[in-house]
Amino acid sequence: MPKIALITGATSGIGEACARLFASYQYNLVITGRRTDRLQRLASELVRENGVKVQILTMDVREKAEVQSQLNGLDEQWKAVDVLINNAGLSQGLDPIQDGNTDDWDTMIDTNIKGLLYVTRVVSNWMIARKDGHIVNLGSIAGKEVYQNGNVYCATKHAVDALNKAMRIDLLPHGIRVSAIHPGAVETEFSDVRFKGDTDRAKKVYEGYTPLTGQDIAETIWFMVSRPKHVNINDVLIMPVAQANSVYWNKEK
Ligand code: NDP
Ligand code: 8X3
């Protein structure tokens, strides 16, 4: 019986890399995001190249009713989710707290914290019913440390860190595995989104060193998920070699 992974935010970056890797390991996939065209393209490609089944769900994780109706509307066969990768997330802006754009704050809080909660609320119950499942939460180095102007993004990722620990406790009686991965800089669309399409500024984030790739993160998640059933990897902090932490870098000039 093929396993099923549900990956939020699979239209680019880390989520897309996870979808590609899990499909290559013959997982059937539920992939989500707001950009339907990208989901459709990716699904066709994964079906063609790997012979797996792929279900797409266009949903904005900030919209509670939409998340509930889209997930609950899935055919029963798709609710046997073995792995949930809570990946959808973003940063908006990089400003001191006193200058922060409050709409950006709402977007980050609603997506990174509340969106992750809405999805988990539904899918964890499917896992409980089957007494099996693994939830992998995308945290960040920003959830372990706070850096200048990172304020609200860092706070949302600290919340993910806390929720990861909380989920592990609450789901313990049900045998559900819960893990978090906390990456440093990964070159994806993350900085384009943070800087709202200012591609020059976004590119500079990854200059002068070798950043992580979505594939690096996907492979690590695969390692976490493919351990024997009695093993839970609670937490992984993964960085580019050139990045010691949020502050110290070894960049070429
Ligand atoms: P990308 O911008 O490449 O991908 C983000 C994904 O999240 C997209 O698929 C996007 O889909 C989805 N998403 C964003 N907002 C929403 C929403 N409201 N509803 C549904 N889906 C949404 O960035 P990354 O791949 O880098 O980011 C993935 C995760 O990794 C995030 O949680 C991020 O915080 C975290 N992370 C990233 C790091 C990095 O350096 N890149 C480092 C540490 C953690 P769509 O736009 O189609 O909705
Ligand atoms: C993304 C990494 O350092 O830009 O979570 O916050 S960082």
**Residue in 36, 38, 87, 104 to alter for ligand 1 test, most ligand atoms within 8 A of Cβ:** 87
Contact 188, 216 (CB under 8 A): no
User: Residue 253 has what pLDDT?
Assistant: 77
Question: Which ligand 1 atom is at minimum distance from the Cα of 15?
Answer: 25
Above 80 in pLDDT, residue 13?
A: yes
User: Residue 66 has what pLDDT?
Assistant: 98
Q: What is the CATH superfamily name and number for domain 4-187+213-236?
A: NAD(P)-binding Rossmann-like Domain (3.40.50.720)
For residue 76, the tally of other CB atoms under 10 A from its CB is 7
Catalytically annotated residues: 153
User: Residue 244 has what pLDDT?
Assistant: 98
Above 90 in pLDDT, residue 65?
A: yes
Question: Which residue is listed with tokens 């950006």?
Answer: 104
- What CA–CA distances, in Å, run from 102 to 117, 145, 192? 21, 22, 19
- What is the sign, positive or negative, of the torsion defined by CA atoms of 78, 111, 113, 246? positive
- Interatomic CA distance for residues 175 and 121, integer angstroms: 16
Residue 179 CB less than 6 A away from ligand 1: no
How far is ligand 1, taken at its centre, from the CA of residue 104, in Å? 15
Question: Which ligand 2 atom is at minimum distance from the Cα of 185?
Answer: 2
Residues having CB closer than 6 A to ligand 2 are: 140-142, 150, 185, 246
Q: What is the mean pLDDT of the chain?
A: 98
Q: How much of the chain exceeds pLDDT 70, in percent?
A: 100
Residue 127, both tokens = 């896992």
User: Residue 113 has what pLDDT?
Assistant: 99
User: Residue 53 has what pLDDT?
Assistant: 98
Residue 41 CB less than 6 A away from ligand 1: no
The residue among 192, 193, 191, 160 whose CA lies nearest residue 178 is 160
Residue 119 CB less than 6 A away from ligand 1: no
**116-144 per-position pLDDT tens digit:** 999 999 999 999 999 999 999 999 999 99
pLDDT band at 49, cuts 50/70/90? very high
Ligand closest to Cα of 160 equals 1
Q: Which residues contact 28 (CB under 8 A, 6 or more apart)?
A: 2, 3, 4, 5, 52, 53, 54, 55
- pTM summary value: 0.99
**173-231 per-position pLDDT tens digit:** 999 999 999 999 999 999 999 999 999 999 999 999 999 999 999 999 999 999 999 99
How far is ligand 2, taken at its centre, from the CA of residue 178, in Å? 22
User: Residue 85 has what pLDDT?
Assistant: 99
